[in-house]
Amino acid sequence: MRRLAWGLVMLLLPLLLVGWGGVQQWRAETAQEQAGITRQWLATPSEDLLRTLPWAARKELAGRLDTREVLQRQLDELDTDRHWLSVRRTLAGVGGWLAWGALVAGIGAWLRLRYDAWRALRSAHYLHQRMTASWRVLGRWLSVYMGLLAGSLCLLLLYEVSAGFSHAAQGGVTVLIVVLPLASLLLVCLRTAWRMRQQWPRIGASKASFLGRQLHRHGAPALWQWVEGLATQLRAPVPDNIVVGIDQSFFVTSVPVVLQPCQSVLNGRTLYLSLPCLGALSQREAAAIIGHELGHFRSRDTEQGSATNARFSLMCAQFSTLVDAERGAAWVARPVVWAAGQFLHHFQVAVHHWGREQELLADRAGAKVAGPELFMQALLRAIALGSMVDALLHECGGQGLLAALPRHLQRVPLRLDEDVLGLTMPHPFDSHPPLAARLDNLRVRLDGALLQAAMRQPGDHDRQWFNQLWGGAVEAERQGL
């Protein structure tokens, strides 16, 4: 309801200004009509003409015998203000039209947002190609909305300032004291419009940054040969880079990667291997997981999907900055924040929809390596290990993690929560499908035997095969990876 309320505010603000401008225009037209009626009465007095005067003018005449003198004084005042009356009438008219324009811009921004989100949910190509452009278009629509709102408010305030000075003798200054505080809203509108024009388009190139160590071919030839064999089996492209680190998940990306702490930039297809998990998975289980990741390369969804997810993360960060900047601002700027939040909400649905489709397709690739049951066994084990690694990372901050995990596994068995079917695999770029959907996708039944195999205690082979294949685990531990 609160989100809907800000959407209504986005429409009501321009409508209020339209109404205010209409009242101002009526006031100016009424004063001009009063001047015309007064001239007619002074030329040819008539009770009918007196009855057509505005209520305020008739009230001033009530009980007065010097009608001509009163009307002449009123006419003199109106003639003195005649030029400014025309100016104020123009200000009110233009201010009202600007408010109508703001209303159209607000509705247009909402309709464009929903249309783009609808298209993105039905076409992965549209999502990948148009999401950033749609975000920028929304920014332009909202900038126009705030600009027109500010322009309308400025003109209507100028009307009141002019009217206040013109009727200072009749208490017009008192009206200014009431109206001028609205100038703070004008400043908020101008500041928000300027900030959006300056900051909204700044969606930089998609990049990822994480802690890890690159494994070169000459430094780990056996590992590269093994990964190349899996890629050949799946008819998938071979990664350009292999990185190992202490993150709790395996993943792939095709966006440029800034590797920490060395700050080196990796381009092309990057495969990230989780060292903690590789010390507790069998080689066949690891092959199935890596086969899943190579499946992303085979379907080439990382070339666009990774960039899309990275750009979406940048948009979310930009939105957080906007929220922080407008947190203490007047409510007049909140509809802009609401519209940006609605964009991210609806596009998140599309991003997750197509991301999950890609994950299910990659699951089939992982199942081709050693069978669907073994892949699901590896996936269950990786999920359980991920939870344990995450807890240890919070506990020790990554120091000595590779040595601490085997000791921890000797004391604490792997386990999955009761809501296992709703679990997902952690990933830095997107949200994976729930486990139930992945089981259905591969037509695998989650039974006691599968869970027992996935939750087994790591054996000597589980702990040693990767170190033998690479020969660098000891050095990685020494370097804090």
Residue 65 identity = L
**Mean pLDDT (the chain, rounded):** 82
Helix (H, G, I), strand (E, B) or coil at 245: strand
Tell me the per-residue pLDDT of 267-280, one tens digit each, with 9 for 90 and over.
989 999 998 899 89
229 and 115 fall within a common domain: no
**Overall average pLDDT of the 80-86 stretch:** 82
412 and 304 fall within a common domain: yes
- Please say whether the beta carbons of 153 and 185 come within 8 A: yes
- What pLDDT shows up at residue 295? 93
Name which residue leads in pLDDT, 67 or 257: 257
Tell me the per-residue pLDDT of 437-462, one tens digit each, with 9 for 90 and over.
888 999 999 888 998 999 998 888 88
Mean pLDDT lowest for which of 130-139, 305-314, 453-462? 305-314
- What pLDDT shows up at residue 284? 95
216 and 192 fall within a common domain: no
Q: In angstroms, what CA-CA distances link 443 with 5, 291, 427?
A: 45, 18, 24
Rounded Cα–Cα distance for residues 74 and 296 (Å)? 82
299 and 428 fall within a common domain: yes
- What pLDDT shows up at residue 235? 93
**Overall average pLDDT of the 197-204 stretch:** 65
Is residue 215 over pLDDT 70? yes
pLDDT band at 97 (very low <50, low <70, confident <90, very high): very high
136 and 235 fall within a common domain: no
Rounded Cα–Cα distance for residues 81 and 471 (Å)? 92
Q: Which of 204, 235, 262 is the last residue of a domain?
A: 204
188 and 234 fall within a common domain: no
- What pLDDT shows up at residue 287? 96
213: part of which helix (H) or strand (E)?
strand 213-215
Helix residue ranges, H only, 167-299: 172-179, 183-199, 221-234, 275-278, 283-299
178 and 249 fall within a common domain: no
- What pLDDT shows up at residue 174? 65
178 and 237 fall within a common domain: no
| Tokens 């054996």, residue located | 459
272 and 156 fall within a common domain: no
Whether omega before 428 lies within 30 degrees of 0, making that bond cis, reads no
Is residue 61 over pLDDT 80? no
Centroid of chain to Cα 223: 40
179 and 240 fall within a common domain: no
Q: Which residues pair with 264 in a beta bridge?
A: 259
- What pLDDT shows up at residue 477? 43
DSSP letter at 332 equals: G
Strands 257-260 and 213-215: unpaired
Highest mean pLDDT (candidates 36-40, 81-85, 208-212, 284-288): 284-288
Tokens of 32: 């001009």
pLDDT band at 474 (very low <50, low <70, confident <90, very high): very low
CA-CA-CA-CA dihedral for 219, 221, 226, 231, to nearest 10: 90
Name which residue leads in pLDDT, 80 or 250: 250
Is residue 366 over pLDDT 60? yes
Kindly report whether the global pTM for this prediction surpasses the value 0.75: no
- What pLDDT shows up at residue 473? 45
pLDDT band at 379 (very low <50, low <70, confident <90, very high): very high
Q: Which of 204, 239, 260 is the last residue of a domain?
A: 204
- Please say whether the beta carbons of 377 and 454 come within 8 A: yes
Number of domains in the chain: 2
Q: Which of 204, 225, 255 is the last residue of a domain?
A: 204
300 and 284 fall within a common domain: yes
Q: What are phi and psi of 256, to 5 degrees?
A: -55, 140
Parent domain of 89? 4-204
34 and 143 fall within a common domain: yes
- Please say whether the beta carbons of 339 and 113 come within 8 A: yes
- What pLDDT shows up at residue 3? 59
